[in-house]
Amino acid sequence: QKEVEQNSGPLSVPEGAIASLNCTYSDRGSQSFFWYRQYSGKSPELIMFIYSNGDKEDGRFTAQLNKASQYVSLLIRDSQPSDSATYLCAVNGPNFGNEKLTFGTGTRLTIIP
Amino acid sequence: NAGVTQTPKFQVLKTGQSMTLQCAQDMNHNSMYWYRQDPGMGLRLIYYSASEGTTDKGEVPNGYNVSRLNKREFSLRLESAAPSQTSVYFCASSESRVQNEQFFGPGTRLTVL
């Protein structure tokens, strides 16, 4: 089992719809969870982080964490063409090394105008 | 406030040549990281430095060395470049070891012929 697993996509979503990106992780002791957005040819950009079970909202983005199911998701409401990018899930936990992040391979999202 | 800067942006080397990738951050962060990103492999940690004066191996350290010159600067050296080291290299920094929100530099695209 991969330590951090994401569906590679591509995921195609119509403009204005909700995009749902999912991530599962293997370390039950993981404590911090991050979503990065990466445009083609650019560096990863931190867009959301979540530390506690439940939902965290920031503008059009909502991160959802369920530690019991070892599952973290990112919802993007009112999707825009500018949201087209690869989204990376990253996890920080004791078995991964508290001082390190373990990244998934990313989900490529395309917003269709 | 430039964040994380990297030089050079692009580099072409011949097999066996050496070079140093430079990274600097102006956010007064304690921890710094070097990653490589290859298609289908995601981000893989090469080396990291949890604080000034310390360095540790990551997932793929072979063929690389690092120096944490001071709190701001963390360099990555390829002593004898190989075609397998063709990749995009990212430097990142983080203030907190525990929560570990990492911020990335723009990257160096390296080709080894």
**What confidence tens digit (pLDDT) does each residue in A59-75 have?**
999 999 999 999 999 99
pLDDT over 90, % of chain B: 82
- Residue A85 above 60 pLDDT? yes
How far apart CA B58 and CA B92 sit, in angstroms, is 14
- Strands laid side by side in the A19-25 sheet: A4-6, A19-25, A71-76, A61-66, A54-58
Of B99, B107, B62, nearest to A99 by C-alpha is B99
**What confidence tens digit (pLDDT) does each residue in B46-63 have?**
999 988 889 999 989 999
- Residue A98 above 80 pLDDT? no
**What confidence tens digit (pLDDT) does each residue in A13-60 have?**
999 999 999 999 998 888 899 999 999 999 999 999 999 999 999 999
- A14 upstream amide cis, omega within 30 of 0: no
A43/B40 Cβ within 8 A = no
- For B107, the token pair is 């990257």
- For A39, the token pair is 């445009």
Chain B interface includes A52 (CB < 8 A): no
B97/A99 Cβ within 8 A = yes
| B 89-108 residues inside an 8 A Cβ radius of A | 90, 97-107
Burial of B97 from C-beta contacts in 10 A (0-12 / 13-18 / 19+):
middle
pLDDT in the model for residue B77: 98
A43, A92, A105: residue with CB nearest B107: A43
pLDDT: is B37 or B101 the higher one? B37
pLDDT in the model for residue B96: 75
How far apart CA B61 and CA B66 sit, in angstroms, is 10
B100/A101 Cβ within 8 A = yes
- Residue B98 above 70 pLDDT? no
How far apart CA A106 and CA A103 sit, in angstroms, is 8
Residues of B in contact with A43 (CB under 8 A): 90, 104-107
Chain B interface includes A79 (CB < 8 A): no
Chain A interface includes B7 (CB < 8 A): no
- Residue A94 above 80 pLDDT? no
